[in-house]
Structures are given as C-alpha cells and as structure tokens.
Amino acid sequence: MPLDGSVRLDHGLGGVINLDDLPGKRRAGSMTWSGMSNGRWWVDPATGIAAAMFTMVLPHGNDVVNRMWDELERAVYGDLLPGLMKQGKEQTV
C-alpha cells in the first residue's frame, strides 16, 4: 500500500484503516500494520479475509518484501473473493 497520499487512511487502536477500497485488494474499513522487520497483517471485515506475513528483513519498506506483500494480497483476493461473492458472504461495510 503506497503511503504517498494516493490512498486515504486513518488510524485505529490496532493499526492503519483504509478509508477506500484498494482495487484487487482489501476493502474500505480494513485494518493493516507493518512492523520494523516487515512483518505485516491485514483484517478485512467486509470480506471476512485476513492474512499475516512474517519476515525478519531490514530495512523497513524493503522493495522485495513490498512486492511479495502486494503479490500475496492480490493472490488471496484473486482466489478467495470470487468464491465468497458467489456464496453471498461478502458483507457491506
């Protein structure tokens, strides 16, 4: 997720909250966080999808880890979301 101002964000007690959908990824209202060694997670209440990725890679924001995270999220939503939508399990926020 770019932190260049192109995505509207807010903060909650546990992490960063997306205010808008990310195309091909998590929905508005999702929460995410990334730690210093690039361990990351997200929870998407609209779809019921959550994931975590654990790494011990420095520096924070490592390009390889960023690409891996993007690929993970796109793969998870590409594989899981169509099935959830067919089952009517995706919720509106």
Q: For the chain, which residues make up each domain, given as ranges?
A: 9-87
3-state helix, strand, coil in the chain (%, to 5): 25, 20, 50
The pLDDT of residue 79 is 87
Nearest to 70 by CA among 23, 18, 5: 23
Full-prediction pTM beyond 0.85?
Answer: no
The pLDDT of residue 85 is 72
The pLDDT of residue 3 is 60
Q: How far apart (Å, rounded) are the C-alpha atoms in residues 5 and 86?
A: 34
pLDDT tens for each residue of the chain, 93 residues long: 556 678 888 877 789 999 999 999 999 999 999 999 999 999 999 999 999 999 999 999 999 999 999 999 999 999 887 777 777 765 543
Cβ contacts of 13 within 8 Å, gap of 6 or more: none
